[in-house]
Every structure is written in structure tokens, then in C-alpha cells.
Amino acid sequence: MIRTIGVDPGSRYTGFGIVEGDGSHLKHIHHGTVKIASSRPLPERLEIIFEQLKDSIGAYGPQFMAIEEVFFAKNVKSALTLGQARGVAILAGVGSGLSIHEYSALRIKQSVAGYGRAAKEQVAGMVQRLLRIDKELEPDAADALAVAVCHISTWSSNLRWKVPQRQ
């Protein structure tokens, strides 16, 4: 059983979701969205993201952080903004001793919805079903839970593959 915090960072909305499991069994532990008014100055926003993620890591004790790999953005400005939020999110993980893992959007969709071109809503719906969550999920929290699920299934299948080599 491993426990993972998935993170979907952004300068206004940072989703996070904690999932425990071993591939076939998945258990939803907690999720939420850090929401920050765009009127707040940048340094304060980055600090809020960092502190709130650190608090959740402290409260729920995951061993892993999973985060989506990013290769593109609308433009350079939004890439810079996203990069800043992403940097402090990763720092919150590594500073708490977590092992950090990145997954492509394709890989995340495949592992949650079964195919890589699934729509955002389909992924959110599957996350809800897989984790038996009754209430509708906010988009950023759904994305965060999806990358956590992706990490757990990837990690677990790696372990399964490794078992024969150890015997």
C-alpha cells in the first residue's frame, strides 16, 4: 500500500488529492483546492500554495508526490506563471521528504480512463467512480486525484513486474 499526493498547480487554483492503494485497490483519503484571489501579490500567492501543500502532506503523510509533466502552455506568460506555482508545489514535496514523480497527460488519461484522448470530464467522472466519491469534484482537484491514481497504478504494476526477478 502506498499513499500519494497528486498535485495540479496553478497560480489561482492548485488542486491536490491524496489516494492510498496498491493498484487494484484504491482509497480516497482527502482532496481540496487552494484558491487564491488574483489580486494578491505573487510572493504571497506562492507562499500560500507552498504552506497549504506542506500542511496537507504533514496531515496525511503521503510518501509520494505525483504531478503532471508540462511541455506546453498557451503562451510564454502563462508558462512562466504556471512554472512558478509548479516550482513551489514540487518544493513542498521534496522539502517534506517525498519522492516526486511526473506523468504525461496522455499517461494519466490512459491509466484513469483507459485511453489517452479521453475528455477532461470523462477523466473526472472516472476518478469519481474509481475512488467512490459522491460529490462532484472541482476540476483541479479531479486532475490532482487523477495523477495520484496514475502514480499508484504505475508504481504497483512496476512492483508486480519486479516480483519474479526477486524470486
Q: Which residues are near a second copy by CB under 8 A?
A: 41-44, 46-47, 50, 70-73, 75-77, 79-88, 90-91, 93-95, 100, 102
Which residue's CB is nearer to a second copy, number 28 or number 86?
86
Q: How many angstroms separate the CA atoms of 21 and 11, rounded?
A: 29
Residue 8 falls in the annotated catalytic set: yes
Q: Are 42 and 7 in contact (CB under 8 A)?
A: no
d(CA 147, CA 19): 10
For residue 70, the minimal CB distance to a second copy (Å) is: 6
Closest approach of a second copy to the CB of residue 65, in Å: 8
Q: Which is nearer to a second copy, 75 or 167 (CB)?
A: 75
Cα 162 from Cα 90, distance rounded (Å): 28
Query: 43 vs 58, which CB is nearer to a second copy?
Result: 43
- Nearer residue to a second copy within complex by CB, 90 or 113: 90
Catalytic residue among 68, 69, 102, 134: 68
User: At 137, which amino acid appears?
Assistant: L
**Annotation marks residue 68 as catalytic:** yes
C-alpha cell at 114: 483507459
22 is catalytic: no
Catalytic, out of 44, 47, 136, 140: 140
Instruction: Supply angle C-alpha 83, 58, 129, rounded to 5.
Output: 75
Least Cα distance to 130 among 20, 41, 55 occurs for: 20
Task: List residues with catalytic annotation.
Answer: 8, 68, 140
